[in-house]
Structure 1
């Protein structure tokens, strides 16, 4: 019977269809050597040696002299959008979407971004990030370059960066050995005006450079050259300039959805910093000719994010540093890469700069194999280790097109006496400068969530395909936006822009999702779709933050809000950052009448550290408009979904919910879950909800009103509980599920 089943399967299934999904290739149907040796006999029999005539619809309609080349055809498709260098590779294997349309200085560009692989890759991609390695092409992210005097650049960045923690001008970041993960705000508007996350890193100064000059050929950031995104003038710095005004370069790496807004914020901050410097300058000082240059480096740099414990061995096998590097600290680091269990063993945000050979010279690569008794030397970030020629624009321009094409290297490889021998590098071969930056997705040392570590590889434009082919050849999985979001979700961190209310990028994301989901709901027959009105779902397509905070009147006249809309001129804002947990703990110990003043004092204290004026907002309005991000953990069953509703419960119901989980007596939990909560008990919404593969239970990231969160803390004290208790209901569900909430301090 088993033999008959195999025979029957062989008659209805081709050879390449019987292979595992990760080994299937389109070219296998045309080349017998693409399938394993044990299946080649069957594959030869299945091959049809008769060349069929192409259908008429596939024949070229133009004559030979009028046909477009493949390159011209691809360029024609990019009239209204821009392709990444790896677009064709992704388009064959992944679902693509035009995302994050944004305006540069002279044109509107959209990138077709890979969303998710076409194969079933949700769990395999998670396993790869936890136990192996997964690669993501992040070349769509924007890098803005600032050049100018060091003290001016520090003022520019301090004005518009997050005020919590060390600033961009701190001693640990100023030498250029580490990156700073921060957030960009509208200049002087903190804690309002959140734009989005950013990664900032300085260009390390050569040890031989003497601080004797100021920036040349720079001006105030009001003017821009059309087409290149530069704020650049022709003013020359005088010879007798202040020797303390070091000319520095800093890169700000941001999300593409915020590129235009961040560029405008940096330009405004630079104008404010230059005006303040001119006013503070001594009489007779030629400070008017000093300026700051802003430039958008889109299209000049590519970036790969490779995450997982095997990322070190993959990079070690794919990259070949040049042998002329005489830095002892780099040689020590590169030797230790083989035995590193995870990149979490090195300092966070560490930068390593070096030159590598053309990866095609030793293709196919082989992953490095760690030894049985690995040694972990101590690696200390330094400016010497971070030196790289990638900062030089002339170097990037000279490497925009590889000197040798693939066919030229294949011809050289065919002349080797031993087939498969790597090519020896010649003097004419390209040496490509790269930057390797440590990257982590984690909540903190005390968190029980998964911590993912990896690297970000920055390289010049024109080299994505050579590096991408080497990195993926060894079986490293490739992920899209869904896989990248899953990494942040499993690590217990927020993902931009979906988990950042009150940002312009979040509003654009919500509007696009609302248009898509509402249109799908309209197309669905009434008997097959959720009746949100009968379910009591007030806002099924987007979170009603204004109604939750009491700043807007509800659309339903019968539903009262937490307080009458219009009683306060409060402005909604998101309270986030690493110091939020301590701040809320102090607010818990403060009597309710003094909480508004305590919150205002804390925020004004942060503003004073950056020489900002106190907030011109009433303390009561500041407290009423605050939204705080939380992590939601289900008590028993349930998988929360996006746009789920978070309810507060009274003390009596909280005791009834706690009883099944704290004693052997189990009351009718279903009856409790079906109790319909009033609309006034809504305190927040879920922004990202799913089943956590690392925890084996439903978890979610959401946001609640700060005022109601403080009330949850008071309720926990009355019930002598260490955890804050809420109920969660999906927008299309009828039952509520018990859950615990905690502050998300990232």
Structure 2
């Protein structure tokens, strides 16, 4: 009876297409019966309004109809002040679009997909079109390219000239600085991909016969190519850095060789020559295996071994980090619609499955590096209607087409991609692949990749993936950079405009809450640089003739803020914590890293004390109790007595039986807000973490106060080794619109 009442109620208040799940609802379903599932078509037919036919009339000619432009010209006219990706029209119908970095990019889907997108990255697959990233190709002598790159790449970790990456088997992930400016002038994250070295000769049956299609080894010179990928916001800056570095390297080479041998470095902007798709999630390997159809090539046993085990990967994290795989595939439209590969659950076949291949130069070989081949593939040889005509001849509808000699063979590159931070305690890693295809083939590959219910990620979803995995995101989490200043200014203008549109009774009174900079963090005040500048102005006016040693203008290298980051950050902090003169240790560590890349030590104008005082460091915050940090939240250093009370309250929280007493004590402690002089940092990305189940944030604090937090932890817990996992460092966090200062643990974020 209840089911009958519910069915009768639903049938009277809902139409057929309103009862469908959201991912099946289409506006066209209200006009086309075939858009509705078969079991509901009879009812949908009864609900549809009868078609009203009109008597045919002669269409009247419109004045100026000959001057109307075709659709292609109209779309090109709309791209005068920004660029469209090849998948723009698909995204524009389903996602919110914004003008960003010279492009018209998708920000987030129009439907509510925040939680489903997170679940897809953790348990399924999600795809993002990253073709807007800037790409620059450098050709020249291998020695000169390495010398050029080492002058502006991050000296921490492996360099661009290390054997691990020089063969082209792996991609390098580093950061770019302005030439010889480390640790100042951080520009942007940088990905480097060396063109694989020529393959060795393969022999068949031990007779020394060359295999067909095997490229010959290069014996004449050491000319190499490398591809640089970075954020489009740093495009102009990176071009200037590359030109300056190339000029200096070539001038040095010319002086040392005295014109005996000529050489050159070619810097080519190849942005727009590739389509890049980031497929993340445990099922990303199965999606790619079902979409791509590799072309069989003689002599590539390493790729055959890789492809045989590719479909059985339960996670892309099982593959070697940043490995590069190059191969040729058939037109994905030939086997449309694709089907995801399934993992072999049979115990016998799964145990004896071949292991995934090890990264090598031969495995990474791809013809996508050849510019002539890319130009020949700018337009597919067959249009979709031609392929549909061939499919209509098949006796069995829906079967795949056999590849003909005339069909395109597209070179692609597959790169393993991981978002992980093993240096933290609660890191939630996300693994996947980066697929690079030539320009002109964006929609054919994209349509096949998304057909099997793979979710689509915009800028918000991509940033959320980095946030959930505990990784900093550019430019949002990179203070002291020019890109962050531009991003923060734009966000502040938007938030300020929204705040201004509200009446005084309906908006937050930041003056009453004591929030001096609610829309943009004031890093100069946090570092104390503004106070230094004011003190210098006062001293200058009191003295009649200032000495050269006292004149250190604001904005110079001495008082310029910088960000300490990299894989060696835990080692540097550990060495600084055990000595009294911490600035001298930091100064020596920076000089050691500079000498590692052949750079000169820091100038005498950079004092160790100033280097320490002007440093910021990325950290993560995990709330101990309730509350979720928000963007621009303030970070405070707590007094010793308040910190002891918080530790005692958190330790005794599980034994407290009186909920009212617990809430009262927590509110009492959270209500003690420190002064503005206790502000040590700010939150750049913060909200409720779905992967952790509580509040989580990424931000930056001053290096001086990070060391002070370690000393406080050692002072309050002398029997523990600080910082430890059992006794973590504590800090206070207050949202810009909050009345309480919640407590959170502090952990250093390092690129490990």
* TM-score, length-scaled by structure 2: 0.88
How far apart are the structure 2 equivalents of 1:137 and 1:51? 43
In the alignment, what sits opposite 1:614? Answer: 601
Inter-CA distance 598–19: structure 2 relative to 1 (3 Å threshold):
same
**2:377 aligned residue:** 399
Indicate yes or no: 2:188 matched with 1:196.
Answer: yes
Aligned to 2:584: 597
Does the aligned pair in 1 maintain the 2:684–2:698 contact within 8 Å?
A: yes
Q: 1:504 matched to which residue of 2?
A: 482
- CA drift of 1:80 comes to 1.4
Return the match for 2:267 from 275, 286, 294.
Answer: 294
Relative to structure 2, which stretch is displaced further, 59-68 or 724-733?
A: 59-68
Secondary structure of the structure 1 residue equivalent to 2:382: coil
CA distance in 2, matches of 1:53, 1:488: 57
Secondary structure of residue in 2 paired with 1:438 = strand
The corresponding residue for 2:615 is 626
Q: For residues 661 and 618 of structure 1, what CA distance do their matches in structure 2 show?
A: 41
- 1:588 maps to 2:585: no
> What is the DSSP-based 3-state SS (H/G/I as helix, E as strand, rest coil) of the residue aligned with 1:540?
coil
Q: Residues 712 and 725 of structure 1 are in contact (CA less than 8 Å); yes or no, is this contact kept in structure 2?
A: yes
Question: Which residue of 148, 153, 162 corresponds with 1:161?
Answer: 153
1:37 and 2:38 correspond:
yes
In structure 2, the CA distance between the partners of 1:527 and 1:368, relative to structure 1 (3 Å rule), is: same
Per the alignment, residue 103 of structure 1 pairs with none
Closer/same/farther in 2, CA of residues 337 and 648 from structure 1, 3 Å limit: same
Residues 553, 445 of structure 1: alpha-carbon distance in 2 compared, 3 angstrom cutoff: closer
Partner Cα distance (1:348, 1:640) in 2: 32
Q: 1:195 and 1:399 mapped to 2: Cα distance? A: 34
What's the counterpart of residue 676 of structure 1? 673
Contact 1:151 1:245 in 2 (8 A): no
CA pair 244-363 structure 1, distance change in 2 beyond 3 A: closer
2:436 paired with 1:458: yes
Q: Would the aligned equivalents of 1:547 and 1:554 in 2 still touch at CA under 8 Å?
A: no
CA contact (8 A) 2:156 2:568 kept: yes
The aligned counterpart of 2:696 is 699
Q: Which moved more, 1:535-544 or 1:366-375?
A: 366-375
What is the aligned partner in structure 1 of residue 641 from structure 2?
652
Distance in 2 between residues matched to 1:307 and 1:208, nearest whole Å: 34
The 3 A distance-change label for structure 1 pair 497 and 325 is farther
Structure 1 position 208, deviation (Å): 5.2
Aligned residue in 2 for 1:726: 731
1:538-617 matches, within 5 Å, as: 538-553=516-531, 569-591=558-580, 594-616=581-603, 617=606
1:23 aligns with 2:24: yes
Of 294, 303, 307, the match for 2:276: 303
What residue is the counterpart of 2:326 in the other structure?
A: 353
State the shift of 1:376 in Å. 5.9
Instruction: Write the distance in 1 (CA, Å) between the matches of 2:289 and 2:259.
Output: 56
What is the Cα deviation at residue 44 of structure 1? 2.2
Shift of 1:446: 6.4
Does the CA contact (< 8 Å) of 2:303 and 2:357 recur in 1?
Answer: no
Does residue 1:125 correspond to 2:130, yes or no?
no
Query: Contact between 1:640 and 1:698, CA under 8 Å: does it hold in 2?
Result: yes
Deviation digits for residues 474-523 of structure 1, max 9, x if unmatched?
Answer: 11011101111111011011011000001111111101001000011111
Deviations along 1:614-644, one digit per CA (max 9) or x if unpaired, are 1111111101100011010101111000000
d(CA) in 2 for partners of 1:60, 1:95? 37
| Offset, 1:28 | 2.5
CA gap 1:408/1:625 in 2 versus in 1, 3 angstroms: same
Aligned residue in 2 for 1:441: 419
Shift of residue 266, structure 1, vs aligned partner: 1.2
Shift in alpha-carbon separation, 1:208–1:25, aligned structure 2, 3 A: same
Provide the C-alpha distance between the structure 2 equivalents of 1:556 and 1:49, rounded to a whole number of angstroms.
79
Are the counterparts in 2 of residues 146 and 294 from structure 1 also a CA contact under 8 Å? Answer: yes
Cα separation, partners in 2 of 1:522 and 1:60, compared to 1, 3 Å: farther
**Structure 1 CA distance for aligned equivalents of residues 464 and 53 of structure 2:** 45
Deviations 1:122-145 (A, max 9, x none): 000000000000000101111110
Distance 1:706-1:408 versus aligned 2 partners, 3 A rule? same
1: distance between equivalents of 2:499 and 2:743?
28
Please, which moves more after superposition, 568-577 or 165-174?
A: 568-577
Q: Is the 8 A contact 2:174 2:190 kept in 1?
A: yes
Check the 8 A contact 2:310/2:356 in 1, yes or no.
no
1:323 aligns with 2:296: yes
Determine if contact 1:150/1:245 at 8 Å carries over to the other structure: no
Q: Deviations over 1:624-673 (max 9, x none)?
A: 10001101010111100000000001111111111111123656110111
Q: Give me the CA root mean square deviation.
A: 2.2
Deviation at 1:298, TM superposition (A): 1.4
TM-aligned CA deviation for residue 611 of structure 1: 1.0
CA distance 1:650–1:566, shift in 2 (3 Å): farther
SS at match of 1:612: coil
Aligned length: 689
CA distance in 2, matches of 1:519, 1:446: 37
The Cα offsets for residues 86-111 of structure 1, whole Å up to 9 and x where unpaired, read as: 111111111010011xxxxxxxxx21
How many Å separate the matches in 1 of 2:619 and 2:181?
Answer: 24
| Alpha-carbon offset, residue 332 of structure 1 | 0.6
Q: 1:291 to 1:400 in 2, by over 3 A?
A: same
Q: Distance in 1 between matches of 2:515 and 2:643?
A: 22
SS at 2:627's partner residue? coil
Choose which of 713, 735, 741 in structure 2 pairs with 1:736: 741
Unmatched 5+ stretches in structure 2: 202-217, 536-551, 657-661, 721-726
Structure 1 residues 62-91: Cα deviation after superposition (integer angstroms, max 9, x where no partner): 665333322222122112111111111111
Q: Distance in 2 between matches of 1:468 and 1:145?
A: 25
Contact 2:308/2:354 (8 A) holds in 1: no
62-71 or 701-710: which moved more? 62-71
Match of 1:272 in 2: 248
TM-fit CA distance, 1:322 = 1.0
- The residue aligned with 1:172 is 164
Q: Provide the rounded CA distance (Å) in 1 between the counterparts of 2:684 and 2:279.
A: 26
> Shift of residue 733 of structure 1?
0.5
- Decide whether aligned partners of structure 1 residues 164 and 320 sit closer, same or farther in structure 2, where only a CA change above 3 A counts: same
Unaligned runs of 5+ in 1: 101-109, 210-241, 558-564
Contact conserved, 1:176 with 1:203, CA < 8 A, in 2? yes
- More displaced, 63-72 or 396-405? 63-72
Q: Secondary structure at the match of 1:668?
A: helix
CA distance in 2, matches of 1:676, 1:178: 49
CA gap of 1:624–1:566, structure 2 versus 1, over 3 A, is farther
Query: Secondary structure of the residue that 1:80 maps to in structure 2?
Result: coil
Deviation at 1:198, TM superposition (A): 1.0
